[in-house]
């Protein structure tokens, strides 16, 4: 008599025939459903169909096959005398191994223009029930949901049996698999029934289900005494590929995220250099090479050891310009072969290529006792000067208007209190993360030096007092954009007129903590 019974019902038939032969060689009796049974029989393997075991045919076009006491009783029975006697009374023999993977729901809905009815038919019911039943009874039953685990299981069987530790590991993987599967179905149905997002803030979902898989273990977190790792969304490719250099650190990933989002926020060729989460230099130009030079000129001291992200393929000219600067990371949507070859001569730089993964609409942050969730700040409603209110007597010139729009867009990528000095579509000074807004104005002015003369300034939130504008005017700022909305707006507007500044209100705040 065979030493164990195995139930096989797989959508992904990778490696199935070879694995089934190993099961038979180890003394296994095979039971299989539908197409799995047909493939095993065609391969010349001895196999019983599920209908033979249950004495009941598939019904509803295959929707119901394995949902039967002769199957689930055989899987769920504990190997106690009481349970085994009850099985015997009903002429049911235990099943010791369950090999199941599910209908390809995620792959189906990832295709364009999939009908809802098609997606519904790809929701596996019996397979999920089999996996959960076997995983629940992992003390006596082994469960496999991933073909990559076939060799480990076959090896264990050939060596005399599946140990308790391996059964537990496989059970955990099965529960993770069904959890991710259900999450994908729920997310699809929510999205299918949700209208396209409006320009204004919408409602957030009542529940969020995250399915994250380990991409990389970092040497440590922000500091050497902290563990750190990068996880990605399961079933999705990583956002970046490391083409050159050592592994990215926890801090590298954080700064890259800031740099990448900042650079991609602009339509023109743009370079963003980030240090400790804030842009120390960001510029737009007609060419990427020029944009990089302008971004570096903003704060070349802080740029040392920074992260560079660009929004255009990086060419040889840009690579030559940045070659002598020590950068931790360079990230681009593509590289010209000559540029990549040159950069790869720099041993200490990490070179990353973006796969073009779409940006997710929600931002999540862990706090004590929960997770804060918000819509990502990508609104375009206040980014164009045509929608602003010019509240000063002085009107902006065309060049000022363009620089104000640039500075305003940069400001939402700078940590609050955020102040951005800009001239000719490039930052010349950035004040970030200060507890006082006027201190941020002074930090930006210190960074800019004489370059602040004739520059413009953006503030991510309103000025509560006139002192911010007064400090900016002392640094030579000629035009200011801010949200407005302070109880002292009239005092601030009067100061702008007294100082002969342009002052624009956007009506929208852009805090970034």
Instruction: Tell me the per-residue pLDDT of 262-301, one tens digit each, with 9 for 90 and over.
Output: 999 999 999 999 999 999 999 999 999 999 999 999 999 9
**Which of 404, 505, 399, 504 has the alpha carbon at shortest distance from 456?**
404
| Region 318-347 average pLDDT | 95
For the chain, what is the mean pLDDT? 89
The secondary structure element, H or E, covering residue 504 is strand 502-505
Segment 168-183, tens digit of pLDDT: 888 988 888 888 777 7
> For position 220, what pLDDT does the model report?
93
Which is more confident, 45 or 196? 45
385-505: what fold? Answer: Cytidine Deaminase; domain 2 (3.40.140)
Segment 407-418, tens digit of pLDDT: 999 999 999 999
pTM, entire model: 0.72
Question: Catalytic annotation on 275?
Answer: no
SS3 46: coil
pLDDT tops 70 at residue 102: yes
pLDDT tops 80 at residue 112: no
Which is more confident, 361 or 502? 502
Question: Catalytic annotation on 413?
Answer: no
Looking at domain 4-191, its CATH architecture is: 3-Layer(aba) Sandwich (3.40)
Peptide bond into 102 cis (omega under 30): no
Write down the catalytic residue from 13, 173, 244, 276: 276
Taking the domains of the chain in order of start, what are their residue ranges? 4-191, 238-354, 385-505
What DSSP assignment string belongs to 180-196?
HHHHHHHHHHHHHTSPP
**Which of 68, 131, 126, 122 has the alpha carbon at shortest distance from 97?**
131
Write down the catalytic residue from 136, 294, 423, 446: 136
Distance between CA atoms of residues 242 and 329, nearest Å: 10
Tell me yes or no: is domain 238-354 CATH 3.40.50.300: no
**Which of 383, 355, 361 has the alpha carbon at shortest distance from 260?**
355
Distance between CA atoms of residues 93 and 104, nearest Å: 31
| Region 228-232 average pLDDT | 92
> For position 1, what pLDDT does the model report?
36
> For position 196, what pLDDT does the model report?
44
**Extended strands (E) in 189-336:** 212-218, 228-233, 240-244, 270-275, 278-284, 306-310, 327-332
pLDDT tops 60 at residue 423: yes
Same fold, 4-191 and 385-505: no
């Amino acid at each position: 008599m065979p030493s164990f019974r195995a139930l096989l019902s797989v959508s992904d038939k990778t490696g199935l025939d070879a694995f089934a032969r190993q099961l038979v060689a180890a003394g296994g009796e095979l039971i299989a459903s539908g197409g799995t049974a047909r493939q095993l029989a065609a391969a010349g393997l001895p196999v019983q169909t599920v209908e033979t075991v249950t004495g009941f045919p598939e019904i509803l076009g295959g929707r119901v096959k394995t949902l039967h006491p002769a199957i689930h009783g055989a899987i769920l029975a504990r190997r106690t005398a009481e349970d085994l006697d009850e099985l015997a009374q009903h002429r049911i023999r235990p099943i010791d191994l369950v090999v199941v993977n599910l209908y390809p729901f995620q792959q189906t809905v990832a295709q364009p223009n999939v009908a809802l009815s098609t997606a519904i038919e790809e929701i596996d019911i019996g397979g999920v029930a089999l996996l959960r039943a076997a995983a629940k009874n992992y003390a006596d039953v082994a469960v496999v949901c991933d073909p990559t685990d076939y060799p480990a299981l076959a090896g264990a069987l050939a060596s005399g049996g599946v140990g308790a530790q391996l059964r537990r590991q496989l059970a955990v993987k099965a529960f993770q698999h069904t959890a991710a599967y259900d999450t994908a179905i729920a997310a699809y149905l929510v999205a299918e029934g949700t209208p396209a997002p409006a320009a204004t803030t919408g409602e957030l979902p009542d529940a969020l289900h995250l399915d994250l898989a380990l991409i990389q273990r970092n040497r440590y977190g922000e500091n050497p005494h902290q563990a750190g790792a990068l996880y990605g969304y399961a079933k999705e490719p990583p956002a970046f590929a490391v083409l050159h250099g050592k592994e990215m650190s926890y801090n590298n990933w954080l700064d890259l995220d800031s740099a990448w989002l900042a650079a991609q926020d602009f339509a023109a060729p743009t370079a963003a250099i980030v240090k400790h989460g804030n842009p120390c230099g960001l510029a737009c130009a007609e060419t990427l090479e020029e944009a990089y030079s302008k971004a570096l000129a903003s704060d070349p001291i802080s740029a040392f050891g920074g992260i560079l992200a660009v929004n255009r393929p990086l060419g040889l000219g840009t690579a030559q310009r940045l070659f002598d600067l020590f950068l931790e990371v360079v990230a681009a949507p593509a590289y010209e072969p000559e540029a990549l070859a040159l950069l790869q001569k720099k041993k200490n730089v990490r070179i990353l290529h973006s796969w073009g993964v779409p940006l997710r609409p929600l931002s999540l942050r862990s706090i004590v006792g929960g997770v804060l969730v918000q819509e990502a700040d990508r609104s375009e409603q206040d980014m164009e000067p045509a929608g602003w209110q010019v509240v000063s007597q002085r009107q902006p010139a065309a060049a000022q208007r363009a620089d104000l729009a640039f500075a305003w867009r940069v400001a939402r990528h700078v940590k609050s209190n955020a102040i951005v000095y800009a001239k000719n579509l490039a930052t010349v000074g950035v004040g970030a993360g200060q507890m006082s807004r006027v201190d941020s104005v002074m930090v930006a002015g210190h960074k800019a030096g004489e370059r602040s003369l004739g520059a413009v300034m953006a503030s991510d939130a309103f000025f509560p007092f006139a002192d911010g504008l007064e400090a900016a005017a002392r640094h030579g700022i000629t035009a200011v954009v801010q949200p407005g909305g302070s109880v002292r707006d009239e005092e601030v507007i009067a100061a702008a007129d007294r100082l002969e500044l342009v002052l624009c209100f956007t009506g929208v705040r852009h805090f970034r903590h």
